[in-house]
Structure 1
Amino acid sequence: MDAPTTMSGENGIPNGGWFMPRASSSVPPDGTRETPGAPATAPSAPSAPGAPSAAETPSAAPRVPGQRPARPSEQGSPDARVVRRTMAEIGSVADKVTSYFYALLFVRHPELRPLFPPAMDTQRDRLLKALLTAAEHIDNTPVLVEYLQNLGRGHRKYGTRPEHYPAVGECLIGALSKYASQWNAETEAAWVRTYTTISQVMIDAAAADELRAPAWWHAEVVAHEARTSDIAVITVRPDQPYAFRAGQYASMETPWWPRVWRHYSFAAAPRPDGLLVFHVKAVPAGWVSNALVHRARPGDVVRLGPPAGSMTVDHTTDSGLLCVGGGTGIAPIKALVEDVAEHGRRRTVEVFYGARTDHDLYDIDTMLRLQQHHPWLSVRAFIDQQAHVTLPDAVREFGPWNGFDAYLSGPPGMIRSGVDVLRHVGIAPARIRHDSVEELVVIGA
C-alpha cells in the first residue's frame, strides 16, 4: 500500500467509490423522478441541490438548558438518524460488510466486474469511506451534493452507466441487512430513500458533465525529467483541450495498470501550448507512481480524468497568499504562484517549502528563480532533519498573517497540524484552503 503523500503524489482521493450509476436521469413531465427498482417517494436526505435540510431550518427546536446534548446519531432528519445508526452498528465489522457487498455484486452481476480494478483491497476501503462521508454529511445538503456530484462526474471514466445503479443498491442493502443487528423494514426503507437520492444526484451530475466534456482525455508524455531517484517531472500533451485552474488536480491511468487511477496536482498554471505538468513521487508498492517515475517515457500515452479540487486563487481580492507545501506538495503551490503572476496583480505571496531532507527539496531552484523574477514573492525552505522547528512552527514564527489567504498542500499530518496552527494565529477557517484530509489518505496500490 502506498505511503501517505501529497496531492501531487498517489494520495488516493476517492476515485473508485461505491456508487455505480443506477437509474435513468430522465424527468417525467410532472417533475418527479422515476427510478427502476426504487420507490418514487422523495427521501429525507438532500431532496434537491441547495435545499436546506431539516437540521438547517430555523424551525429546529433549541436545546433546553441542562438537557443532554444529542449525539450525532440522534440529530438530523429521521432517515439521517437511521443511516448513522446503521453505520455505528457496523463499525466493528465494516471490512466484512464491504467484502460481502462486493461478493454479492460480482456473483449476482458478473458483468460489472470489468468496471473495477484488478485488486479489490483498495476498492473495499473506498466503499467504507464513501459510506462514512455520506452518513456524516447527510443533512448538510450543499456539502453532500458537491461530494456526490464530484463522484458522479469522476465515475464516467470507469464506463459506469445509469442502469448499473439497481444492482449496486440491491447488493448494498443486502450487505447492510446481514450485519446490522437492528435492521428492520423501517431501516431498509430509510436506506432505499437515501440511496435513491444519492444515486440521482450522481446520475444528474454525470449527465450534465457528458454534455460539456469527455469522460477522459488521452495524453502523450512529451517530457520525463528525473529530479531524484524517486521523483519525476512529467509533461503531457492532451489529445483535446483540457481546461483547469491552478491548484486543481487530475486523476491519471497508465497503460500498464488499466482501471487503476491515481490523483496528481498540476505543477504549472494553464499554458498557451496546452501542455500539463505533474510532479510524481514513486512510493513503496505504488503501482501508478512507480510506473510513471520508472517506466514511462516520451511517446507513452496515459489517460486523464477531469480536473477537480477547489484549492484555487480568488483573483477578485488583493489579499496576501500564505502557501505551505511539503515534499511534492510544492507542485500546486508553484502553479498558484504562476497563476498570480499571470494575472498581473501585485499581491504578497509567502511560500514555505518543507522537506524531510535536502534531497526532497527537488524544486527549490525553480522556486528561487520565481522569487528573483517577482519581488512580491518570498520563498523559505525548511528541512526537518536540520531545522530546530517544524514547518508549522516556522509559519507561526514568521507571522502575523492577518489578511492572508492560506493554502496547504502536503502529507495529511502536515495538513492537520498546519490547519491547527493557522487557526491559532487567527486565520479564519474559511480562508484556509486545502483538499480534504480524508482525500489525502492513501488508498491505492
Structure 2
Amino acid sequence: MGNLSRLLKESWTLVEEQQDKVAGYFYARMFLSNPELRNLFPVTMDVQRARLLGALVTSMQLVDDPDRSDEYLHALGRDHRKFHVEPEHYEVVGGALLEALRAFAGERWSIEYDQAWREAYQAISARMIAGAATDTNPPYWNAEVLTHERRGPDVAVLTCRPLQYPLPYRAGQYVSVESPRHRPRLWRTYSIANAPDADNTLEFHVRAVGAGWVSSALVRKVRPGELLRVAAPMGSMTLDASSTRDIVCVAGGTGLAPIKALVQELTRYNRTRWVHVFFGARDRDGLYDLDELNQLAARYPWLSVVPACSDDDGFTGEQGLVSDVVGRYGPWAEHDFFVSGSAPMVRSTLRTLAELQVPSIRIRYDAFSDG
C-alpha cells in the first residue's frame, strides 16, 4: 500500500499545476464517450470540476488509512446517489480520468503510474458502489420550506421539513441541498443548524455570495411553501459521548450552524462539561444569531459565549480575528475543540491551536465555501 501511495502522489505532481485543465479535459472525454451522462450534471461545471479534484486528492491522501478511506468513500458513494449515478457509470469515469492524466503528464507518464491509478480507481469505485448499494435511504428527500427569515442583506435562516421520511442525522453533520425551482442540478453543502428533534425540522444558515448561485437563491428567492431537495447527511464533526473533557467551539460567520446544533444536543443531557463558544464575524451585523446564543447561555450555566468582530471599531466585545481571540483565553490543552467556518478561518484557528499545543486528535472541524 505504501508503494501505491507513493506512485499516486508522485504522479499527481506531474499535473497538479494544471489541475483545472485536467478536470475540464476529463469531463469532455466522459461526455463524449457517454453523452447521456451530461444530463446528470449542472449547466455550469466550475464548482463541479473543483469538487472532483477535491475528492481525488482526499482519496489519495487516505490510501494508507483503510478505515478512514472506507468511511469516506462509502459516504461519497451514498452521496452520489442524488446524481442518479449507476454502477456502470464508474467504468466510463475511470477511463476518462486516466486519459486526462496521461494527456497532461505527457512523456513523464509511466506504465507504473498508469497501473497505480487503475488499481487505486478500482478500489475507490468498488467502495463507492458498495456504499451506495447498502444505503436503504432514498437518494434525496423532498423538503418543504416552512420559514425563511432574513438576518441582514446577505444572510437567511430557513427551516424545512422532509415530506416522506425523517432524515436521520447527527448534530454537527452537513447535507447537500438543491433548489430545483431556481437552480436545478446544482447542489451545495450546508450544515444543519439544529439537533435532531421530534418535529423532523431542519434549520439552515446561508450567506449569499457574489458568484454563489445556490446560496443567492436560498437567501433571496426561496419562499415558504417551496420544495428543496436534501441529500444524505455526511461529516464526522459530531460529539464523542465517551469524552468527559470540556468543550471549545469556534465559529466564523454562518459556520455557526453546526456549532449551534452541537450546543442544542448538549442542552438535552450535559451537566458536567463546560462549553465555551467563540463566535466571530467582521462586524456586529455578521453576528446574526448572537441573541439566541446569549439566551441559551443565560439558561444553561455551563455555557459561555464570546463574540468577536475583526473590522468593527464600535463593537464593545472582543476585537480581532476569532482565531486570535481564542488564543487570549485558555489554557485549552485539555479540551475538545470544534471549529467551523470559511477555509481561511479554519486554517488560522488550527494554527493557533497548534501553537497552544492542543493535540490534533482532539480537534474536529469543517471548512466550507459558499456557492
Q: TM-score range by the shorter chain?
A: over 0.9
Q: Check 1:346–1:92 CA distance in 2 against 1; reply closer, same or farther (3 A cut).
A: closer
Q: What is the Cα-based RMSD across aligned positions, in Å?
A: 1.6
Check conservation: 1:247, 1:335, Cα contact below 8 A: yes
Q: Which has the larger radius of gyration?
A: 1
1:333 alignment counterpart: 259
Identity %: 45
- Contact residue 336 and residue 362 of structure 2 kept, 8 A: yes
**Cα distance, 1:433–1:184 mapped onto 2, change above 3 Å:** closer
The within-5 A match list for 1:87-166 is: 87-166=12-91
What is the aligned length? 363
The answer to whether structure 1 residue 323 and structure 2 residue 254 are counterparts is no
Instruction: Choose 182-191 or 255-264, whichever is displaced more.
Output: 182-191
Match of 1:85 in 2: 10
Q: Give the counterpart of 1:213 among 127, 137, 154.
A: 137
Code of the residue aligned with 1:320 in structure 2: it is D
For residue 179 of structure 2, what is the aligned residue in structure 1?
254
* Aligned 8 A contact 2:15 2:22 in 1: yes
CA contact (8 A) 2:308 2:319 kept: no
Match 1:275 to one of 201, 205, 214: 201
State the AA in 1 paired with 2:171.
A
For structure 1, list consecutive stretches of 5 or more residues without a partner in the other structure.
Answer: 1-53, 55-75
Whole-angstrom distance in 1 between the partners of 2:288 and 2:344: 21
Three-state SS of the structure 2 residue aligned to 1:434 is: strand
Q: Distance in 2 between matches of 1:118 and 1:84?
A: 32
Return the offset for 1:155.
Answer: 0.2
Which secondary structure does the structure 2 equivalent of 1:250 belong to?
strand
Q: 1:179 aligns with which of 104, 115, 124?
A: 104
Give the aligned partner of residue 354 of structure 2.
423
1:11-410 map, 5 Å:
54=1, 76-77=2-3, 79-180=4-105, 181-209=107-135, 212-239=136-163, 240-255=165-180, 256-385=182-311, 386=313, 387-410=318-341
Unaligned runs of 5+ in 2: none
Query: Which residue does the alignment assign to 1:49?
Result: none
Q: Quick one: distance in 2 between partners of 1:425 and 1:186?
A: 43
**Counterpart amino acid of residue 193 in structure 1:** E
CA distance in 1 between counterparts of 2:250 and 2:346 reads 9
User: Which has a greater percent of strand?
Assistant: 2
Q: Deviations over 1:144-196 (max 9, x none)?
A: 32222221111000000001111111211222222222234443222222211
- SS of the aligned residue for 1:299 comes to coil
CA distance in 1, matches of 2:357, 2:12: 36
> SS of the counterpart of 2:267?
helix
Give the C-alpha shift of residue 429 in structure 1.
0.7
Which structure carries more relative contact order (alpha carbon 8 Å, separation 6+)?
Answer: 1
Alignment partner of 2:108: what SS? coil
Amino acid at match of 1:305: A
